[in-house]
Amino acid sequence: MANEHTTTNSRSGLWWLSASIMALGWWAAGESSKGPDDLTRPNVTFEPTDINGRWVVMVGGGVLAFAMLVTVVLDPVFEHFLHVHAESTPPALPEFTHGVVLPPEPRLQELPRRDLGEYIDQQQFELHRYNVVNGQTGAVTIPIERAKDLLVQRGIPPQKVPPPNMFYQPRAGTRLTGLEGKVEPEPR
């Protein structure tokens, strides 16, 4: 009960405080509150009426009528072009006649990790098996570990020495360098 009385007193105190601040503001502005007729200010203007409902309905109806008119006018135009286009183009072939047409290479990978795994498996299979490359010449492949062991046992075979290149110092006014006839001339 005491709390309600205190709350009422504090609310009324706030009202008196706000009323006195407003009165002080009016007094500082040179205005005095003489009565309800004094609340009108000649320099303040406002809209005397609300929006004109008749114009809102007329504009909305006009927009709706225009949209309907455009639909009615363009529908036969679309139908005309639909029939003209249908007569000039052959019918689409069904997918089951030609099967699924794949796009040209390169295609996007659907599962790149799986593709990489398959590629690595294929390479490992090729590295670790015996295979006849050409039966007529006797070319074969052997597992990589076996090839390493043979290389360690036999050593690296000697390389054929290439014929010495004969380079000449260019003479003044000529282009002789020793490469004549060995390389194609530069296009001009």
162-178 tens-digit pLDDT:
777 766 665 555 566 66
Check pLDDT > 90 for residue 123: yes
Residue 150 tokens, joined? 């043979």
Percent of the chain with pLDDT over 90: 24
Boundaries of every domain in the chain: 127-156
Following CA atoms 119, 120, 123, 127 in sequence, which dihedral angle do they give, to the nearest 10 degrees? -170
More confident residue, 98 or 178: 98
Query: Could you tell me which of 9, 37, 29 has the C-alpha nearest to residue 21?
Result: 29
Overall pTM > 0.75: no
Read off the pLDDT of residues 47-71 as tens digits, 9 standing for 90 and up.
667 778 888 899 999 999 999 999 9
Residues found in the chain: 188
CB atoms within 10 A of CB 141: 13
More confident residue, 43 or 57: 57
- Mean pLDDT over 106-133 rounds to 91
91 vs 81: CA distance, rounded Å: 16
- Strands 139-141 and 131-134: what pairing? antiparallel
Residue 172 tokens, joined? 């003044």
pLDDT, the chain, mean: 76
185 vs 99: CA distance, rounded Å: 52
